[in-house]
Structure 1
Amino acid sequence: MNAFHRPRAVLFDLDDTLWPIAPVIAEAELTLHAWLAAHAPKVAQAFSIEELRARRMALLAAEPEYHLDLARLRRAALHAAFEHVGENVQHLDGAMQHFLAARNAVKPYDDVLPGLLHLADRVTLGAVTNGNADLEVIGIAHHFKVALAASRFGKAKPDPAIFLAACEALGVAPAETVYVGDDLRLDVEGAQKAGLRAVWMNRTGSTAHLEAGIVPDAICSSLEELIAWLEQQLGD
């Protein structure tokens, strides 16, 4: 059993913890397909959004290392689609730039910005993500002292290494760190196995933790609830 100390740092997951990601990806794929219709029409005519997604998932199944970098996966699958229909691959850069711009057009949940401002006065904040969110583009990078992405670090959650590297970068011990995320296996179980406390950000009221047999250190539905729980841990 870990001997936990007064929290000095809070690390956040990003997608589906600080903002909903499914509608953003859906819109990004729509705008990408429209871009392809204008700039790489052979691809758009040959493959629907669903067919491009199926090809991408098949590539991921064949080469699981792409889990580390989903943007690299998308580019590789697009490259294969371009070659399959004889489209000019010089348009790949433009396609990816267009997609990533739309992918970063996220809208944080209403509690996020005031919550981060409040927490920053009490603890050091950081982020650890398996996704492609660009905090500079989104405009919230200044809230986080450290931000680690699996694609750059080389290991993805739930590997303990990425949690431990974030703690080291912040200058805090795992036992002094709280991780907050929406995914029970990647975020909660992963962080706990690395020696951190883990808060399940459960915005939907799910009871999935009961079936999974995972016991978060706390379950919160908002940053307000996280702050209330954290105040108890801080003891003042």
Structure 2
Amino acid sequence: MRPAPDGAWSRAVTAYLAVLFDVDETLYDRTRAQPMILRNIMAQLPELFAGQAEEEVFAAYERSDALTAEHGLTHGSIRASRNRRTRIFLEELGLNSEAAVEAVTEQYVAAYRCVDTPIDGAVQVVEGCARNHRVGVISNAFPDVQYHKLESIGLPRNTFEFVLLSEDIGIRKPEAAIFLKGCQLLGIDPGQALYVGDSFRNDVVGAAAAGMDSCWFNPRGEPPPADAQVRPVVEIRTLWQLLPLIGEGT
């Protein structure tokens, strides 16, 4: 469902007990944060990145991020998996220093403690939802940075009834099981929850597989995939649009 040209909606979305959220690009602006994180790493490790142009570092990180986006679940320790991703990043820059891997990983994780890049309205909208709805998080993420992200934007873990992370429980979106686990934690049926996320594949398709309605946060107005077999119950351009849809006003 898309918003009408005049901003009206063809139906309200009010019959839910819980509103569950994705994190990256839904509550936390990871796209805006990444350049800050990388600049911090370069500043902290100047010898390692000597002679590397900022643009080259950013491009290498984007390539490594794409290569590891579907990395699968962590096998072994979280730190070992994080180091594996760092190693790919450094290899993209032609830096094969194994000694640097741990240092870059440490700086990457530490930087998230101080980078504050919320999506516009994230805190107010989550707090607004929590007035009359139960709220939780379901995210594909490593716990070593995801908790820092939420805390940095003013949404500590105790804001939510649960924060369910793929690398903690061994299930990733779009698998239905991670959405069903969230409902189990709340003691509700999937049809009683609305999931809010920016990824059509992970969030809209995944929620539908679990029998859960979704709100597609689509700020750029991108079309759904041509082969999409499901649709969100509603689509929004800003997080602020969510509150009136669930009966919380503005």
**TM category, shorter:** 0.7 to 0.9
* AA in 1 matched with 2:164: L
Task: Tell whether the 8 Å contact from 2:137 to 2:163 is kept in structure 1 after alignment.
Answer: yes
Q: CA distance change for structure 1 residues 46 and 169 in 2, over 3 Å: closer, same or farther?
A: same
Q: Equivalent residues in 2 for 1:191-210 (5 A)?
A: 191-206=207-222, 208-209=223-224
Secondary structure of 2:173's match? coil
Aligned residue among 195, 201, 215 for 1:185: 201
Task: Tell whether the 8 Å contact from 1:128 to 1:148 is kept in structure 2 after alignment.
Answer: yes
Which residue in 1 is equivalent to 2:83? 75
Q: Indicate yes or no: 2:113 matched with 1:99.
A: no
Shift of 1:156: 0.9
Shift of 1:164: 0.7
* AA in 2 matched with 1:18: L
Which residue in 1 is equivalent to 2:226? 211
Which residue in 2 is equivalent to 1:31? 40
Secondary structure of 1:190's match? helix
Q: CA distance change for structure 1 residues 56 and 114 in 2, over 3 Å: closer, same or farther?
A: closer
Shift of 1:97: 2.6
Aligned length: 219
Q: Indicate yes or no: 2:244 matched with 1:221.
A: no
Task: Tell whether the 8 Å contact from 1:46 to 1:85 is kept in structure 2 after alignment.
Answer: no
Q: Indicate yes or no: 2:177 matched with 1:161.
A: yes
Task: Tell whether the 8 Å contact from 1:68 to 1:130 is kept in structure 2 after alignment.
Answer: no
Which residue in 2 is equivalent to 1:21? 30
Secondary structure of 1:192's match? helix
Please say which of residues 99-108 and 157-166 is displaced more in the overlay. 99-108
Give the alignment's TM-score, normalised by structure 1. Answer: 0.77
Partners of 2:238 and 2:66 in 1: how far apart? 32
**Unmatched tracts of structure 2, length 5 or more:** 1-12
Aligned residue among 103, 115, 126 for 2:125: 115
Task: Tell whether the 8 Å contact from 2:204 to 2:214 is kept in structure 1 after alignment.
Answer: yes
Secondary structure of 1:37's match? coil
Root-mean-square deviation (Å): 3.2
* AA in 2 matched with 1:34: A
Secondary structure of 1:125's match? strand
Greater helix content? 1
Q: Indicate yes or no: 2:135 matched with 1:125.
A: yes
Question: Identity over the aligned pairs, expressed in percent?
Answer: 25
Partners of 1:73 and 1:148 in 2: how far apart? 19
- 1:202-236 deviation line (CA, Å, top 9, x unaligned): 22222x1273534110112223321211129xxxx
Shift of 1:55: 5.5
- 1:59-108 deviation line (CA, Å, top 9, x unaligned): x49xx5x24359755521434759x867462x544422321233452322
Secondary structure of 1:161's match? helix
Partners of 1:182 and 1:77 in 2: how far apart? 23
Partners of 1:46 and 1:20 in 2: how far apart? 26
- 1:159-201 deviation line (CA, Å, top 9, x unaligned): 0111111111122211111100011111011101111111101
